[in-house]
Structure 1
Amino acid sequence: MFVVAIGGGTGLSTLLRGLKNHVDKEIKGLTAIVTVADSGGSTGRLRKIYQIPAPGDIRNCIVALAESEDILRSLFQYRFKGGELEGHAFGNLFLVALTEITGSFLTAIRISSQVLRTKGEILPATLSPVDLCAEFTDGNVVYGEEEITNYGRVHKGQRIVSIWLEPKDVTAPPEATDRINAANLIVIGPGSLYTSIIPNLLVKDIRDAVANSKALKVFVVNAMTQPGETDGFSAYDHVQTFAKHTGIRPDAVVLNTKIPSDKLLKKYLEQGQEPVLADASKIAREGYLVYADDLIGEKEDFVRHDPERLASLLIKVYEENATFSEV
């Protein structure tokens, strides 16, 4: 089968680490379509200087799919300390330098992928510099991905009522829509709902291609709520909010049912995050296929989906529900 994964942040890179182990086995081709609206940290600074799409999530996906030695993966993730380079990730600088040299952000991604020998293709949702914008329930409009999350954190109780890209008419690389059109399985998420997942579908070409695709569409709900974005959201709320802002109804929904350890849970609760309630029956009543399982790992100090468990479940979902011939 041919798989397209759509998202951003740590959620998409975690998913890719699992899926790459199935490339050349169950998976014939793997493509990641990545949001480029990030406005914070090293990525935000480089965007302002060079007027390019945000490189940070792209870098993380290249590293996630890399088959190269540990030293090269570590090099791409290395952050400089001190001086004018403080906080910059080497991989971000590498992508910017290649973009300047070749004149193409897409070419820069391809060369970087060749250097790290990725088991899959990485494509930005758009090649245009874009800003994520949101209107909250108090009527205030906030510009910038990082600023949107920060506003929600500071103004507790305020919700996002509408979200869009500026400029609104940006286009996707033709390669991105081609991969969607050829896909058997489209995986959306996991990740921050408003700032990692939805922005990809705000690009009209991407949204239309996904909506018209005959592929099995699977939405993976985040394991934890996101402060300033999805405070108090259940899994049902995630699915309904995604459908509301994108107009896309997935075929299946994947939920995590495992609660983190007491120590880890306490840490997250102190940060205003809590496990997303897996209200599977409520989602199923809306006609979605629901797959609920223990999907988070236990080896880290963070709550993350276990890459292999998630990848294996997604392959199972496809095998049980695909009703069309493979491309």
Structure 2
Amino acid sequence: MTKHLLRKQRPNIVVIGGGTGLPVILKALRRKNADITAVVTVADDGGSSGIIRDYINVVPPGDIRNVLVALSDLPEIYKNIFQYRFDSKDQFFSGHAIGNLIIAALSEMNDSGIFNAVQELTAMMKVEGHVYPASNYPLVLNARFKDGSVTSGESEISAAGKTIDKVWVSRSNNEAPEAVPEVIDAIMDADQIVLGPGSLFTSILPNLMISNVGKAVCKTNAEVIYICNIMTQKGETEHFTDADHVRVLHQHLGMNFIDTVLVNTEPVPNDYMDQQKYDEYLYQVKHDFNGLRSLGCRVVSNNFLELRNHGVFHNGSQVVDELLGLTSRPLSWMDSELN
């Protein structure tokens, strides 16, 4: 497979994922001169998103809400209102973010699905870039574990405490999930496809398991970059190396499609993390650079670590500086490691 990047003054970057990692990268990209498209997972079934999804059967709004705010040019007061989460003891409103309710309302008003509703909201919120739900309809995430058992639902999968073998997505009406043409066009026209950071099995793979999305990511001429997680995750990637993350991605799509991997090499200080607050994160991901290169990946290693509020995060500015630097470097299939 030969790939090249079409050099432009404004690189066209598509970021695919969900969870808390995606907005970190998007906020940093928004401060740079990049043409941004966010493709957001629609398989979440936990928290406020899961409750709203169960009540009115709409695409879970939480990840979409956070991405809209990350790319919005509205004053902070408006974004804070959109993000406000009720702490009332009212049985319905407690725990719901105002933005989730607005997205759900627009979905009901727009009978053609969530995609057009989100496009209306991007205009209202003065979003810089594009926000595309990975599917126009809510999807169910399914998993088969190493012991052969199968379960459905993102929350149930994470809580099962078993080693995941494979995940896939389905619709409630048993139709094959597909992304709208705009999502596929964005992937095919991109200079860079960025996966993550985020939960491997529940934030990144649900997007790639949509058949036409996975095929487009494998077929595009864009450089496909995986931002490897800093920490392993309970119920998903316990004891994984960085090469194990990429190996799982390749196995799910049936080919080696990751071109470049961004890896944090800065150690997390002992006893820094609040293990009660961040109880899903276990150990720092171990490095296997030889394994990554054997999978056909260029390795970019650097200090991408940000320590904040006794939690471990990616430094969005540092990651984005590296991403934009890669748009000006030729993609070489020679083994290389940049420090």
TM-score by length of 1: 0.91
User: In the aligned structure 2, how far is the partner of 1:266 from the partner of 1:47?
Assistant: 31
Shift of 1:272: 5.4
Asked if 1:55 corresponds to 2:55, the answer is no
From 79, 94, 98, give the equivalent of 1:86.
94
275-284 or 34-43: bigger deviation = 275-284
User: In the aligned structure 2, how far is the partner of 1:317 from the partner of 1:240?
Assistant: 22
Asked if 1:45 corresponds to 2:57, the answer is no
Counterparts in 2 of 1:308 and 1:87: CA distance versus 1, 3 Å:
same
Partner of residue 210, structure 2: 203
Q: Counterparts of 1:1-327 in structure 2 under 5 Å?
A: 1-22=11-32, 25=33, 27=34, 29-81=35-87, 82-83=89-90, 84-103=92-111, 104-152=113-161, 158-167=162-171, 169-248=176-255, 249-265=257-273, 267=275, 273-322=282-331
Letter in 1 for 2:121: S
Partner of residue 155, structure 1: none
Counterparts in 2 of 1:143 and 1:308: CA distance versus 1, 3 Å:
same
Deviations 1:88-119 (A, max 9, x none): 11111010111122324122212222232221
Asked if the contact 2:274–2:311 (Cα under 8 Å) also holds between the matched residues in 1, the reply is no
Letter in 2 for 1:173: V
User: In the aligned structure 2, how far is the partner of 1:110 from the partner of 1:140?
Assistant: 39
User: In the aligned structure 1, how far is the partner of 2:118 from the partner of 2:310?
Assistant: 30
296-305 or 185-194: bigger deviation = 296-305
User: In the aligned structure 2, how far is the partner of 1:266 from the partner of 1:79?
Assistant: 23
How much identity, in percent, do the aligned residues show?
35
Structure 1 or 2: more strand by fraction: 2
Counterparts in 2 of 1:309 and 1:44: CA distance versus 1, 3 Å:
same
| Secondary structure of 1:32 counterpart | strand
- RMSD between aligned alpha carbons? 1.8
| Secondary structure of 2:176 counterpart | coil
Gaps of 5+ in 1: 153-157
Letter in 1 for 2:241: S
Letter in 2 for 1:79: R
User: In the aligned structure 2, how far is the partner of 1:10 from the partner of 1:97?
Assistant: 23
| Secondary structure of 1:36 counterpart | coil
Deviations 1:266-323 (A, max 9, x none): 6389755111113223312433100011102133432111111111111112221358
Deviations 1:42-66 (A, max 9, x none): 1111111211111111111111111
Counterparts in 2 of 1:76 and 1:266: CA distance versus 1, 3 Å:
closer
Counterparts in 2 of 1:150 and 1:208: CA distance versus 1, 3 Å:
same
TM-score by length of 2: 0.88
Partner of residue 337, structure 2: none
User: In the aligned structure 2, how far is the partner of 1:266 from the partner of 1:62?
Assistant: 29
- Aligned positions, number: 314
